[in-house]
Amino acid sequence: MPKKNIYFKFDMLILQILSNRDCYGYEITSSIKKLSDGVIDIKEGSLYPSLYKMLDNGYISSRDEIVNRKIRVYYHIEDSGKEYLKQMIQEYNLWEEKIRVILDYKGEIE
């Protein structure tokens, strides 16, 4: 498992939202904010670079739809994105487990 990742990644949350349904940018950020009770608030300056990177890597695809005379870009998770999400969740769970061990540390290492 790669060790390059930090404990938390917005990509993981974005892909999790997209694994349930195709969304446009505002839907992604508002879903994350609502589900986290406002604790996690991804701004456009963070969202779109992540989306563009995942588009370039083939993890997601996009399609344009006209809604009220405006073009709205919907994002869709691809199979490679599902695999990437699975890897990130495994890594997140490992980090969470090891952080819990450190937080429970009582001063002696066996």
Q: Which fold has domain 10-102?
A: Arc Repressor Mutant, subunit A (1.10.10)
User: In whole angstroms, what is the distance from residue 28 CA to residue 44 CA?
Assistant: 10
Write the CA distances from 57 to 46, 53, 80, 96, integer angstroms: 17, 6, 9, 27
- Burial-class residue 32 by CB neighbours within 10 Å (0-12, 13-18, 19+): buried
The tens digit of pLDDT for each residue in 46-104 reads 899 999 999 999 999 999 999 899 999 999 999 999 999 999 999 999 989 999 999 99
What is Dmax (Cα atoms) for the chain?
65
Whether 14 and 54 have beta carbons less than 8 Å apart is answered as yes
Over residues 19-34, the pLDDT tens digits come to 999 999 999 999 999 9
Name the CA radius of gyration of the chain, rounded: 17
- Return the domain boundaries, the chain: 10-102
